[in-house]
Amino acid sequence: MNAQTTKRSPTINILVLASGKLHSKNADKEFPLCLTEIHGVSVLERIVNNAASIADSQYTFTFLETEAVRYHLVKVATLLVPGARSTQVPELSQGSACTALLAACQLDEAAELLIISANELVDIQLAEVIEEFRHRKLDAGTLTFRSIHPRYSYVRLNDEGLVIEAAQCEPISFFATAGIFWFAKTAYFVEGAKNLIRKDAHVDGSYFVAPTFNELVLKQKKIGIKELDITKYFPLKTEQQIDQFEGSHLV
């Protein structure tokens, strides 16, 4: 019998969405937001550090096709996480749900899925968040912070603290999502995103990750949240927000 080493499937797929279009300027040259260095550490590296203690994981990064080659982003990803996969997406991808779906369809659907947006940072170890979601036997979960601004996605809860509705760019509650979404199975997200697209449930032509929770709610899945102190959430969607983060206590 020919002995071969069989690669074990990961417990969790970590999907980092780093294909945002905002650029930062450095020495008269524009670079992708994910390469922005704050106190000498890039946004991409900070995200990896936040998830470093998550065991038995497989990383996948999404990058814009036009930037992946120009800025050697695939090499950057494998330097940060040896063995990481990369998915290149077109400029005209219709929102984060479509981008995530493009990558997630290639992953082990039985494994958990953690989706992380690279234009937001949280000051928390994500392994602790995931362990809490697992302990609560949730089917999905997200980090939230208090807000009423329509720039964010939101979830509404029932009396038991479980998600019963999600909305994009519409404050249906005080619980805004922080760009971190966990699914007990990758298949839950894949099916939810496909149904979202079939129903044409877009916002201004784009499909987003948060509203996929609505598809899980219809299937009576148990979706929870973990509240995050607003001082531990850092949006990085404008140059002003990047400057604010650079001046924060987090280094």
- As a whole number, mean pLDDT of residues 227-249 equals 79
Whether residue 5 is predicted with pLDDT greater than 70 in this model: the reply is no
Q: What pLDDT is recorded for position 241? A: 75
Query: What's the residue count for the chain?
Result: 251
pLDDT band at 27 (very low <50, low <70, confident <90, very high): very low
- As a whole number, mean pLDDT of residues 77-96 equals 93
Whether residue 236 is predicted with pLDDT greater than 60 in this model: the reply is yes
- As a whole number, mean pLDDT of residues 27-34 equals 70
Residue-wise pLDDT for 134-162, tens only, equals: 999 999 999 999 999 999 999 999 999 99
Mean pLDDT of the chain: 90
Residue ranges and CATH numbers for the domains of the chain are 12-246 (3.90.550.10)
CB 2 within 8 A of CB 41: no
Residue-wise pLDDT for 160-214, tens only, equals: 999 999 999 999 999 999 999 999 999 999 999 999 999 999 999 999 999 999 9
* Residues paired with residue 115 on neighbouring β-strands, in sequence order: 15, 181
CA-CA distance, 4 to 2, in Å (whole number)? 6
Strands 12-17 and 57-64, sheet pairing: parallel
Looking at the chain, the whole-number percentage of residues with pLDDT higher than 90 is 77
Which DSSP helix (H) or strand (E) runs through 86?
strand 85-89
Q: How far is CA 197 from CA 63, 182, 187, 209, in A?
A: 21, 20, 15, 11
Exposed e or buried b per residue across 141-179, where buried means at least 16 C-beta atoms within 10 angstroms of its C-beta: bbbbbebeeeebbbbebeeeebbeebbbeebebebbbbb
Looking at the chain, the whole-number percentage of residues with pLDDT higher than 70 is 90
pLDDT band at 22 (very low <50, low <70, confident <90, very high): low
Q: What pLDDT is recorded for position 28? A: 38
Whether residue 55 is predicted with pLDDT greater than 50 in this model: the reply is yes
Residue-wise pLDDT for 93-136, tens only, equals: 789 999 999 999 999 999 999 999 998 999 999 999 999 999 99
